[in-house]
Structure 1
């Protein structure tokens, strides 16, 4: 993809493909912490939400080179893979509160992270430019 294609925003309040990849970096940062903390914090571990739009804006992904964002995404996900590989099977059933007192397991949280990443990559980054919103 050209720098123009990955940097183009379909509208002022929508993310470019670079910003979507940046959002996936932010998701990795937050979920890496969750995958670690849920293993030793009191159960159920309460997920702390984060303002996705502000994270993308404050980190300035739109102004960064795509290779910087991609390097960060790869590095974070390598770390996540390492953490997931080292989770003992008996900890996969640990409970976390995902909001509104809805309890899910660590295994569900990991699967949700992967589905979230796949959604953004296949539906927004690798497809032709179609104008996607700045949230999921």
Structure 2
């Protein structure tokens, strides 16, 4: 898990630096009417952090297997109006949430990484898989849609 922690820490440094070089137009412009702007993508990653932080905590003490509750990511982004919030506010939220996630990951006992969760469609995954998937999801958006 140290590799995941290190990679998230690197993103916590890189994301504010990369956004500081972008104009308001660049971070607010939607590539297509039905696609998210860079601000909304980072907002989506905040929502992912909120939902996964809760999961990373609950999986450690709830009855096994822990059933993940899905969330409607488009509704989360829309209702929170990330497009109308300053990029600095979104960056601060994203960094703060990921610093908390790092602390949870770092303090998770090794044996709990094998705890099972039901991700839907009769698929069982471990907490370790879920943590790695969180990072992969983050990196997918950052590398392919924000900093491409």
TM-score range, shorter chain: over 0.9
Give distance in 1, aligned partners of 2:56 and 2:82: 24
Which residue of 59, 62, 80 corresponds with 2:83? 62
Give distance in 1, aligned partners of 2:35 and 2:145: 12
Do residues 38 (structure 1) and 64 (structure 2) align? no
Alignment length (residue pairs): 127
**Helix, strand or coil at the partner of 2:114:** coil
CA RMSD of the aligned region, Å? 0.5
Instruction: After superposing the two structures, state which structure 1 stretch, 6-15 or 52-61, moved more.
Output: 6-15
Give distance in 2, aligned partners of 1:11 and 1:107: 36
Give distance in 1, aligned partners of 2:41 and 2:68: 22
**Helix, strand or coil at the partner of 1:92:** helix
Task: Give the Å deviation of 1:32.
Answer: 0.0
User: 1:9-48 maps to which residues of 2 (within 5 A)?
Assistant: 9-48=30-69
Partner of 2:125: 104
Partner of 2:19: none
Partner of 2:112: 91
- Could you tell me the TM-score, scaled by structure 2's length? 0.85
Give distance in 2, aligned partners of 1:74 and 1:11: 27
Task: Give the Å deviation of 1:64.
Answer: 0.3
Task: Give the Å deviation of 1:11.
Answer: 1.6
Q: Extract structure 1 runs of 4+ deviating beyond 4 A.
A: none
Bigger share in helix: 2
Give distance in 2, aligned partners of 1:17 and 1:68: 14
**Helix, strand or coil at the partner of 1:96:** strand
